[in-house]
Amino acid sequence: MKAKGKKILVVEDEAVLRMALVDALEAQGYEVEEAEDGESALAQLDRDDWDLWLLDLMLPGVQGLDVLQRLRQSHPRLPVMILTARGEEYDRVRGFECGADDYVLKPFSMRELLLRLEAILRRVPNPGPAENGKLRIGQATVDFAGYCLHRQDRQFELSRREMELLKFFLAHEGQVLSRNRLLDEVWGADAFPTTRTVDTHVFKLRRKLEGDADKPQLILTVHGVGYKFVHPTPDVPQQKIDK
């Protein structure tokens, strides 16, 4: 069974729902762990073999979105499916901004949830080893804690902004990101940069990450709009790039 061995964490404070999710997922062959609040979910962060987190937004203590933000710092590519109550429109939008991959509205049909979860797992390419806060991207190994990357026996330091930019690209893989959105999300209110600043940082990041900044394979230019990050997996022909 293709679900076999995939490890999922269910973060949900409602015990009945949590147990129903665990049972349904286990019946599909997933390996399931559970957490009843944000703190106990975060305590399981240092495991690096998760395949997906199912995350309720309304949790006692640390809220779901805060959990997601903390998760994204160390696991930029781990698929996360959010569970949210109908009508929490604002949270859903924030959820995507924080890097959720999909969401399911409560009450949901278990069958639909399982199908959507399978779809996420299917489209996630194997990210390669992401051990100790390191992630293989193309020919580079990025060290998130050390603010640097290694490529072809060379080490490149990344500025805080370059690292934040890279994390934002990783969390929004395959999405077209406008320069203005990147400015809002990565630079925020702390400076008065222009969209030109974004281009300069992208250029520097490409040079470190990819080598040839003029022929990018990872951070693609979308003319007239901005950029799109794609992550071809090694040993597999380059994944198709949607227009």
Stretch that binds Ca ion, among 53-61, 132-140, 142-150, 164-172 (CB under 5 A): 53-61
Give least dist CB 110 to Ca ion, A: 17
Smallest CA-to-CA distance from 199 within 187, 211, 190, 188 is with 187
Nearer to Ca ion, 56 or 162 (CB): 56
Give least dist CB 91 to Ca ion, A: 12
Task: Provide the CB-side half-sphere exposure for 45 (13 A, CA).
Answer: 18
Instruction: Give residue 203's identity as a one-letter amino acid code.
Output: F
Looking at the chain, list the stretches that DSSP marks H as alpha helix, in order from N- to C-terminal side. 15-27, 38-42, 64-74, 89-97, 110-123, 160-171, 179-182, 195-209
Q: Is 62 exposed, middle or buried (0-12, 13-18, 19+ CB in 10 A)?
A: middle
Q: Which residue is nearest to Ca ion (CB)?
A: 58
Candidate list 20, 45, 58, 213; residue touching Ca ion; CB under 5 A: 58
Nearer to Ca ion, 85 or 225 (CB): 85
Query: Is the bond preceding 127 in cis, omega lying within 30 degrees of 0?
Result: no
Per-residue DSSP letter, 239 = P
Candidate list 7, 13, 70, 199; residue touching Ca ion; CB under 5 A: 13
Give least dist CB 84 to Ca ion, A: 9
154-162 long-range Cβ contacts below 8 angstroms, 24+ apart:
156/208, 158/205, 158/208, 161/186, 161/187, 161/201, 162/201, 162/204, 162/205, 162/208
Nearer to Ca ion, 84 or 181 (CB): 84
Site for Ca ion in 162-221 (CB under 5 A): none
62 binds Ca ion (CB under 5 A): no
Site for Ca ion in 136-165 (CB under 5 A): none
Candidate list 34, 36, 37, 56; residue touching Ca ion; CB under 5 A: 56
Give least dist CB 121 to Ca ion, A: 23
Instruction: By CB under 5 A, name the binding residues for Ca ion.
Output: 13, 56, 58
